[in-house]
Amino acid sequence: MESLLEKIATHQEYIYIVVLMIFLGIEVIGRVPSVLHTPLMSGANAIHGVVIIGAIIVMGKAGSGNYFALALGFLAVILGTINVVGGFVVTDRMLEMFRHKKPPQQ
């Protein structure tokens, strides 16, 4: 019990961030119209591609002889990049279509 409290105490900064982010995440998209559900899902999908930072760190820290870490890290970087780049491009393509509305004809 005491060790648990100790852990909470040492990581309280993270706990605050997590709790605040949960509220922020809910608040930020609270009133999204259903028209935007698909692009928003796709955009959020691209944002969680931030996991690529982890893949880069794994890759960058791997020793030059550690082929296990090198191979998996390399694969992780590729997959993460596809997630990020593909996600943002696809979202942009969808949203672009909403944009070029012709001016209303008189």
Q: Report the site for other proteins in 61-100 (rule: CB under 8 A).
A: 61-62, 64, 68-70, 72-100
What is Dmax (Cα atoms) for the chain? 74
| Cβ 42 vs Cβ 91: under 8 Å | yes
Residue 15 touching other proteins (CB under 8 A): no
Q: Is 40 in the site for other proteins (CB under 8 A)?
A: yes
Q: Is 8 in the site for other proteins (CB under 8 A)?
A: no
104: left (phi over 0), alpha (psi -120 to 50) or beta: beta
Considering the complex, what minimum distance in angstroms separates the CB of residue 5 from other proteins? 14
